[in-house]
Amino acid sequence: MIRRIAIGALCYLVPTFALGFVWHLVAFKGYYDALAMYRRDVIIPFGFLSMTLQAVLFAWVFDGAFARIEASVGRRALYFAAFGAVLSWSFTTLAVAAKNVMTSVPDYLLIESAFTVVQWVIVGPLMALALSKRLPVAGRVPTGA
């Protein structure tokens, strides 16, 4: 189980960190600068630690709740991506918009909602492909022992 959680955590951590770094600090840096809500000296290790904790918990949730459901890998990916996106959006977008000072809450909600969608379009399928349990198809006799 520890190995599965580690693999799932990497399925979350690697793309989320890479996307987050490029999205926030390169591609849309000017957009975020205009929001005037982030510190000048972003503490990247804190962000990495936060993502690592999220990665382990999301992998644990997938393994316990999504890996064994009777659905195709694609459906599991869709269900998990929807779950992850809504949960992430609640604490990375809504909560931040509610408590942080910024020049435009609507602009922040737009850019962070887009980030969350892109993130989970990547993470949901990746985790489903890596961790889904192989379930027998109804009416089909399993081969091998």
Say which residue, 145 or 59, is predicted with more confidence.
Answer: 59
Eight-class DSSP state of 14:
H
So what's the pLDDT on residue 47? 93
For position 111, what pLDDT does the model report?
Answer: 98
- How far is the C-alpha of 28 from the C-alpha of 79, rounded, in Å? 29
Q: What percent of the chain has pLDDT over 90?
A: 86
The pLDDT value given to residue 21: 95
Domain boundaries, the chain: 2-131
End-to-end Cα separation, the chain, in angstroms: 22
Residue-wise pLDDT for 68-90, tens only, equals 899 999 999 999 999 999 999 99
Q: Which residues contact 13 (CB under 8 A, 6 or more apart)?
A: 51, 52, 55
Q: In the structure, what pLDDT confidence band is assigned to residue 1 with cuts at 50, 70 and 90?
A: confident
Rounded to an integer, what distance in angstroms lies between the CA atom of residue 19 and that of residue 16?
5
Q: What is the pTM of this model?
A: 0.89
d(CA 76, CA 123): 12
Provide the pLDDT for residue 143. Answer: 54
What pLDDT, on the 0 to 100 scale, is given for residue 127?
Answer: 96
Q: Give the model's confidence band at 145: pLDDT under 50 very low, under 70 low, under 90 confident, else very high.
A: very low
As to burial, measured by CB atoms within 10 angstroms (0-12 exposed, 13-18 middle, 19+ buried), residue 60 is: middle
Give residue 132's pLDDT band: very low, low, confident or very high (50, 70, 90).
Answer: confident
Coil, strand, or helix at residue 74? helix
List of residues 6+ apart from 92 with CB closer than 8 A:
112, 116
